[in-house]
Chain A
Amino acid sequence: MPIWLIWTLGLGVPLVAAAVPIIIHLINLTRFRKVDWAAMEFLLRAYQKTRRKMQVESLIMLLLRIAAVILIAMALFPMGCERVSDWAGDELGLSGGGLNTDAPLHLILVLDNSASTGYETENQQAFDRAKQYALTVVDSLEPNRDRVTIIRLSDLYVPPGLGGLVLTDEETEKARRRRVGQLSSMNLEGARREISATQVAAVDTNILAAFREAARVAESTPEGDAVGMVVISDFYRAGWADVAKDGSANGDFVNAAAAINARLEKSGTRMMFYDAGHYWPQNVAITDVRVGERIVGAGMEANIYVDIAYFASSDREEHKSVRLKYRVDGGTEKPFSAPIELAPGDSRRNIALTLTPAELALKDDEVKTGASRNIEIFTEQADGLKMDNARNLVIHVVPNIPILVVNGAPHPDPSKDETFYLETALGISSSKVEGETSDEPPVFITPNRVITMRGEQLASVDSFLDYRLVVLANVRDLPENVMNKLTEFVDAGFGLMIFDGDQVDFQKYNSLLYKDGKGLLPARLGRMGGSEDPVADHYGLAPGDRDHPVIELFTDTPENAAIITDPKAVRAWRAMTLPEGAEVDPLRPVRRLIDVNAPGGAQPLVLERAYGRGKVVYVGTTAGEKWNGLWSWGEGLPLFLYLEIAADLTSNEARYSNLSVGEPYRRVLRVTDIAPTYTVRDPAGTTTEVVSTAEDNLKLLEFGGTAQPGVYTVTALDRTEGGDTRRKWQERFAVNLEPGESDVGKIKAADDAGDEAGAEGGQQVQTALEEALGFETFVFLRAGDELGDGGPLGSEEGDREWMWLAILGVAFLVFETLWSGVISKPED
């Protein structure tokens, strides 16, 4: 709505309404009858006695009529009225602060456009109110004198040129955290344009960064100019909890505010906070959606886990019944949960949804390449903050993962064969129980397709690029050409897993594979530790790098940790020396996944290092039971461990599927993924070409700018010999809102557990700010104080109160009419 119209409605309508009774009064004064009157003496005496009372009554009646008409008018045009009220608030904050000066004013307008400001009641977002007030503030400035700097609290950092930029750690951090957009020192028209164009962002609020930026802007303003600052926000916990009194960033926040106030004091102004947020919001949010499987292959089920939370004031005690639904790739909506009863503050984790193989089935043209599936999870009923009522999850369904297992020590007795158990573990491919017949298609448990060969067959392999993972199990001989192919294979972005054993010539391995830290092996190998004797002592294991995604799975609970620590089943292992000094590649550090509790101290047993685009995992014991009894122990450690390692080494496709808003997309391109052209289509349907970059000889596809929640599509386009382009591969990834933005409760004073809106409406927010910043350091105004939320006319129920006041106004006019026309009619 144009501002002039809002002004017209907001100020004009009540003024015109107020004028109506006055005009009627004046017209009535001209419309009287004349009567010759004999008993004038009595009349004059009566008039003398009652003149003062009559004048007061008449004035009161006139004022009441005006008030009644204004109430009705304001009830009919609440938005406009709010603007006028806002304007009045502006006067309170700015003019009252001393901006009535001839000095040019530099207004710093901090505008919260975080996701939570999208909270909406009765078709009005908190951000609508924020923008209205921002425009009102700008309108109150002097056009040819004053200027405005807008600091948006929630701008996403978009690297210049989508893609084409190596994202350093600093850039990555910026992309994640620096969400303050500054639009410097513009004239009022420009400020209006920018404010009008600002939209609710799908990211959180960065108050501290905004205040630091504001302090910098204030300090850089010329001494002769006045500086004013208005902070317009919803004051929800999502953004403000960190800077509140007990918040982690309170100290820095107070320092930044003090710096700003020091500059404002020179101008005779005070910082002003305008609370545009709604009170007593009720927000059911889907806070997380994840898939249980590291890789989902064709024919597999996918177990989806959903977390939801209900953010609402505990004062309200309004319970919610939530039903969740889902759809795959925009297909039919299906419910998957019974109604979930939530009290304010409640959350539910791990609400399970199992997608059947049929729902994830690959189409004919996807069988070879695999495909992405977007699972959209949403609440049956949307609420005020629609942005978190749904989340997307992209699953890459792979056709199968070919794994080459090279058996260096085959044996007819499966218990003595080097890879029998390993093949079984990696190749668990169906839930179908042998001997049972069923019409149902088998449900696969892993996507792996295991191909086995003997060690001596290695030389015949032309290329390992047909596989995703190569497993060398106790392989003695590694011809040089095989070594070269394996190196190329790993460098191209695939996985290599090496098991040690009695057949391994460790010195040859060191020379061919370790190469003083430059080869595939993560460590220099030494002699065997322990004993091969089955009756020799067995030693237990300990988790190493707990942050490693594989080990993390085994350490998240004591029960899972016991899977590693319980088995005392390793009796022989390869002593190894981790790279030191010049052997250390800082870009590819060795990670200790599992140690063996050897005599004299823990020694590394399972190591991992990156090589080129791929990774190598070295296991310092046999894949079979020659050096250990892991398969017999019964705890299933090797089954789970090797499956997870294999999944980790082959899960490139799944790694970047699901991001938070602002998180950069980053994919190391395998050789087979490299293409001349890459494009990205964002959720709005805009397609942008991106270029791959190189980092440390690695080809990367990397870009930021994931500002919109939704599903993005990355397409690699190859060029045919004829010069045409064709799709080489395509994958999707989902970008979701950070769950913190869903917490739409207001910040409260630390020791205040009372009603959210406070007895006087907005009191608690003000108190919380006073706690954080001190008393008398700012002016606080709340949207709706003048008409709405919790003030005399306020809150979320403000409109309802407006309605009642309008009814009151009408009732008054009716009563007054009856009174004057009927009730007070003189008796006969």
Chain B
Amino acid sequence: MAEAYQRYLDPEVLNQIRHLEVTARNVVEGFLAGMHRSPYHGFSVEFAQHREYVQGDDLRFLDWKAFAKSDKYYIKQYEEETNFRAIIVLDSSESMRYSSGDLPSKMDYGRYMAASLAYLIQKQSDAAGLALFDEKMHDWVPPATSQVTLMRMLAMMHDRKPEKKTNIGEVLVDVAQRAGRRGLVMIISDLFDDLNHLKKGLEHLVARKHDVIVFNVMDPMEREFSFDRLTQFLGMEGYPDLLVDPRSLRKAYLEEVSAFTAGVRRVCLRARADFQLMDTSMPLGVALQAYLARRTGTRA
């Protein structure tokens, strides 16, 4: 477990996203506040603790009294606020095994990403859970705030070998059913499945008031298809092999990928889910930072 911990929680990545702590939280809060502002106001929130103000915090929660005493800005945190639930849904189908060159496989990239996000969420005392799936959901870790849960999540991700086909639609329905009350569902997958299945799954999540973020993980080679000589492509997830000159096929392939990406975007948009393409050649910290920054900008 310690090994998994060290492996997936890269200090450098964590350092890069450390300052996003509030931002990430703000994402959820802002998101929920924006989306479900009135329910929050009706809650009987209980003060839990103070934390230091960082740029971007809502000034409404600034504790002016504490500022007067200590000459420092503190934000008041409430129990209800910290009780936000995030479920990370990580694809572990065979297609996630793919990697080009020295880049991490999509699976590894997803693991880093899931681990980092879970760590970040738990670090701010929120609950993070995990669902690992391919054709079906194999591992389920209910959202919790304990470090034990984080360790368990990391161990599961470490032990899961990418294999079998993807069936994301059924899995998301299952997640929606298991997740209980509403929260944030972060899907990390290459989404190589029927878009109708994805659509069906997203609709279930959204119907249960979950906020959904879809991280579409792709290898740059999958997006650019920059092979330059005769290649035999060995199919994954049961697809046949194909010996072909990729140069003559590139244009048509890119059109297919482009159509697929556009389709995913369209499905996400219709399901009111957020969509983010994650290129495995991008450093994870940078990619997350960019995404969260963009998300903050758009949701603020």
Residues of A within 8 A of B (CB): 28-29, 31-47, 49-50, 54, 57-58, 820, 824-828
A38 touching B249 in the complex, CB below 8 Å, given contacts A43-B242, A825-B228: no
**Quick check: A47 and B225 within 8 Å, CB to CB?**
no
23 intermolecular pairs with C-beta atoms under 8 Å apart:
A32-B230, A36-B233, A37-B235, A38-B190, A38-B192, A38-B219, A38-B237, A39-B192, A40-B239, A41-B192, A42-B260, A43-B249, A43-B256, A44-B235, A46-B253, A47-B242, A54-B244, A54-B249, A58-B245, A820-B247, A824-B247, A825-B228, A826-B225
Closest CB in chain A relative to B113 CB, distance in Å: 17
Whether A37 touches B236, Cβ cut-off 8 Å, given contacts A42-B253, A42-B257, is: yes
Q: Which residues of B contact A33 (CB under 8 A)?
A: 229-232
- How many Å lie between the Cα of A31 and that of B225 in the bound state? 19
Q: Which residues of A contact B252 (CB under 8 A)?
A: 45-47, 49-50
Q: Which residue of A lies closest to B235 (CB)?
A: A40
How many residue pairs link A and B with beta carbons under 8 A? The number is 110
Contact status B222-A38, CB under 8 Å: yes
From A39, A47, A50, A820, B257 is in contact (CB under 8 Å) with A39
Asked whether, in the complex, the Cβ of B244 is within 8 Å of the Cβ of A47, the reply is yes
Question: Are B249 and A41 within 8 A (Cβ)?
Answer: no
Is B226 part of the binding interface, using a Cβ–Cβ cutoff of 8 Å?
yes
A824–B227 alpha-carbon span in the complex (Å): 11
From B222, B228, B242, B256, give the contact of A826 (CB < 8 A). B228
Q: How far, in angstroms, from A35 to B230 measured CA to CA in the complex?
A: 11
> Min CB distance, B278 to chain A, in Å?
15
Q: Nearest-CB distance from B104 to chain A (Å)?
A: 14
Tell me, rounded to whole Å, the shortest Cβ–Cβ distance linking A622 to chain B.
111
Select from chain B the residue with minimum beta-carbon distance to A46. B252
Residues from chain A with Cβ under 8 Å of B291 in the complex: none
Asked if A32 meets B232 with Cβ closer than 8 Å, knowing A38-B219, A826-B225, the reply is: yes
CB distance from B195 to the nearest CB of A (A): 11
Q: How far is the CA of A44 from the CA of B242 in the complex (A)?
A: 8
- Chain B residues with CB under 8 Å of A827's CB are 224, 226
* B 238-252 contacts with A by CB, 8 A: 239-240, 242-245, 247-250, 252
Does residue B179 face the partner (Cβ distance < 8 Å to A)?
no
B197 beta carbon closer than 8 Å to chain A: no
How far, in whole Å, are A828 and B249 apart by their CA atoms in the complex?
Answer: 16
User: B234 an interface residue at 8 Å Cβ cutoff?
Assistant: yes
Cβ–Cβ < 8 Å partners of B106 in chain A = 38
The 9 closest A-B pairs by CB, nearest first: A46-B252, A40-B239, A38-B95, A38-B98, A826-B226, A42-B256, A37-B233, A32-B230, A46-B253
**What are the residues of chain A within 8 A of B234 when measuring CB–CB?**
34-37
Q: A32 with B231: in contact, given A38-B192, A40-B239, A57-B248 (CB under 8 Å)?
A: yes
Give the shortest distance, in Å, between A453 (CB) and chain B (any CB): 112
Residues of A within 8 A of B260 (CB): 42
1/0 contact string of B210-224 vs chain A (CB within 8 Å): 000000000100101
Q: Are B231 and A34 in contact (CB under 8 A)?
A: yes
Q: Is the CB of A40 within 8 A of B230?
A: no
Q: In the complex, A651 Cα to B27 Cα: how many Å?
A: 131
Partner of A45, one of B96, B98, B219, B256: B256
Contacts of B237 in A (CB 8 A): 38, 40
B230 pairs with A29, CB closer than 8 A: yes
Q: A38-B236, A41-B239, A826-B224 are in contact. Are A28 and B192 (CB under 8 A)?
A: no
Give bound CA distance, A32 to B230, whole Å: 5
A37 to B192 alpha-carbon distance, docked (Å) = 12
